[in-house]
Amino acid sequence: MSTVGELVGTAGAEPAQGHTLLLDDQLCFALYAASRAVTARYRPLLEELGLTYPQYLVMLVLWEQDSISVRDLGAALQLESSTLSPLLKRLEAGGLLRRERRPDDERSVAIRLTEAGARLKERARTVPVDIGAAMGLTPEQHTLTQQLLRLLTANVSQG
């Protein structure tokens, strides 16, 4: 099974949206299992960088936009400050970033990469490539999955 066409073609073979209580009918379970499987696949790669998976996501945001508030980081990753605060503390302890209160608004905390944090980006470059290969999806399947997941997230987030 390798093309979208083949996937669509087999769709009729199973009852769509069973609304039953069977585990294998639940899209939620497919999602939950896939998410943990992908995270597990990342684990050994990220271990070499000294990062967990959520920490890696934080670093992705910082490599893209340095000096960001905890608030905006939370908005980007859809995580609460109760999750981010201790996570950022660990990254700071690991020497990858610094947290400083903003002078113009002392409520806000700016997250800035250290030199080590910025340097780590180079070592991380191969990670998306390796994971992409492990996922084994065609470019078409990859894009389609991403779009379906975004649609699902948008609908579920408040519809």
Considering only residues 101-140, where is the footprint of a second copy by CB under 8 A?
121, 124-125, 127-129, 131-132, 134-137, 139-140
CB of 108 to DNA, least distance (A): 4
Question: In this complex, which beta carbon is closest to DNA, that of residue 71 or of residue 123?
Answer: 71
The residues of the shown chain that bind DNA, judged by CB under 7 A, are: 32, 36, 39-40, 43, 52-55, 69-71, 74, 78-90, 99, 104-109
As a whole number of angstroms, the distance between CA 74 and CA 11 comes to 37
Pick 106 or 155: Cβ nearer a second copy: 155
Cβ distance to DNA smaller for residue 62 or 88: 88
Q: Any idea what DSSP says for residue 125?
A: T
Q: CA geometry: angle at 44 spanning 58 and 119, to 5°?
A: 45
Q: Give the span between the Cα atoms of 67 and 30, in whole angstroms.
A: 36
What does the alpha-carbon distance between residue 23 and residue 19 come to, in Å, rounded to a whole number?
A: 11
Q: How many CB atoms lie within 10 A of CB 131?
A: 13
Q: Per rule CB under 8 A, is residue 22 in the interface with a second copy?
A: yes
Q: Which does 118 bind (CB under 5 to 8 A by kind): a second copy, DNA, none?
A: none
User: What is the spatial distance between Cα 49 and Cα 45, in angstroms, rounded to a whole number?
Assistant: 7
- Tell me the closest approach of the beta carbon of residue 5 to DNA, in angstroms: 32
